[in-house]
Structures are given as structure tokens and as C-alpha cells.
């Protein structure tokens, strides 16, 4: 799941969102986003879809199954 953690952080920084801002966008907590970015936890399917929508990417991209 390390690819997910790396891509999530890259996308968040690229968009200029703080962890707190991203958490509010998807209805989660800042600590959960931090755990995802540090590969200490994995998101649920629902949260993966929310993240993909926020960043306008596919779930496959977030999970490292697609390059674009």
C-alpha cells in the first residue's frame, strides 16, 4: 500500500491542501489522513472513491494499478 501513501501525499501537496482541509472534504479526520500518508492505515472503499473524486483520478491510480 506504500504506493497509495506516496500518491495521496503527492496529490494533496500538488493541489495545495493541508491534511485538515482534505479530511474535511471527504468527511474524515486529520489523523486518519496522516495515517494513510504514513502507511499506518488503509482507507475504506468509500474513502478511496471520495479521494479519487477530490483529485479527479481513478481509484486504480491511487492504488498504483494504473500510471495515469
68 domain residue, yes or no: no
Map grid coordinates 479530511 to a residue: 23
Residue 68: per-residue pLDDT: 80
> Which range marks the domain in which residue 55 is found?
2-63
pTM of the model: 0.94
39 domain residue, yes or no: yes
Say if CB 48 and CB 41 are below 8 A apart: no
pLDDT, tens only, 11-68: 999 999 999 999 999 999 999 999 999 999 999 999 999 999 999 999 999 999 998 8
> What CATH number is given to the structural domain containing 59?
1.10.260.40
Say if CB 62 and CB 52 are below 8 A apart: yes
57 domain residue, yes or no: yes
Return the DSSP state at 10. Answer: H
Q: How far apart are CA 20 and CA 45, in angstroms?
A: 20
Residue 1: per-residue pLDDT: 67
Amino acid at each position: 500500500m506504500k504506493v497509495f501513501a506516496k500518491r495521496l501525499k503527492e496529490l494533496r501537496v500538488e493541489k495545495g491542501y493541508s491534511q485538515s482541509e482534505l479530511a474535511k472534504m471527504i468527511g474524515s479526520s486529520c489523523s486518519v489522513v496522516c495515517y494513510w500518508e504514513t502507511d499506518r492505515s488503509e482507507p475504506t472503499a468509500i474513502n478511496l472513491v471520495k479521494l479519487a473524486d477530490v483529485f479527479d483520478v481513478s481509484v486504480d491510480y491511487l492504488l498504483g494499478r494504473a500510471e495515469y
